Amino acid sequence: MYSCLWVDHKNENAPALLAAQIQRLLARKAIKRRLRRHPLIFLCIGTPKIPGDCLGPLVGTLLQSHIQYHVYGTLAHPVHALNLKETIRHIHHCHPGAVIIAIDAAIGSGSQNGFLTVQKGALKPGIGLGKRLPHIGHIQITGVFRQLYGANAVYQMARYSLCIARALRRGLAAGENPGISPYEM
């Protein structure tokens, strides 16, 4: 029921499919109960210095101006391997009990390239590059890349980020999630 959803970013229904999965995950009893008392946080991981790894900051920047939730990780203030632990400590200190949606780019095979995923559970950032970073989040969203550099990565990044941002805005729009209201900043 809550398995990983894989959607091709070229699918015209991708934002709607992603939004529906996000709504299902946010409607789970444990998450819904937690959201009554605690904020929803978006942790958008990556660095603008690498074309295929700036998905998180790009989505964070797009979300920041359109939703009323806390967003960590933007193009201006990215969250990456060097400051992830510090950012997680800050989130836990300032927003104890928060529900976290973690967003990051992922390295995949040629057949996985071009897909966006949404699933419950903690994101494991850096695993595709062999990094040992803390796992984080209650829900994870990834955009799968075959390579982090090159023109294709730049093109995919633009498509992925818009698709994810649309899905999140749609999935979190007022009235679409009974019992889940924006946490005022």
Domain at 5-172, CATH class? alpha beta
Residue spans of the chain under pLDDT 70? 1-2, 128, 146-159, 169-185
pLDDT at 130: 78
pTM: 0.84
Using CA atoms, how far apart are residues 70 and 182, in angstroms rounded to an integer? 9
pLDDT at 92: 96
Using alpha carbons, list the distances in angstroms from residue 171 to 19, 35, 39, 176.
Answer: 4, 15, 16, 7
What are phi and psi for residue 29, nearest 5 degrees? -50, -50
pLDDT at 145: 75
Question: Please, which residues have CB within 8 angstroms of residue 132's CB and are 6 or more apart in sequence?
Answer: 126
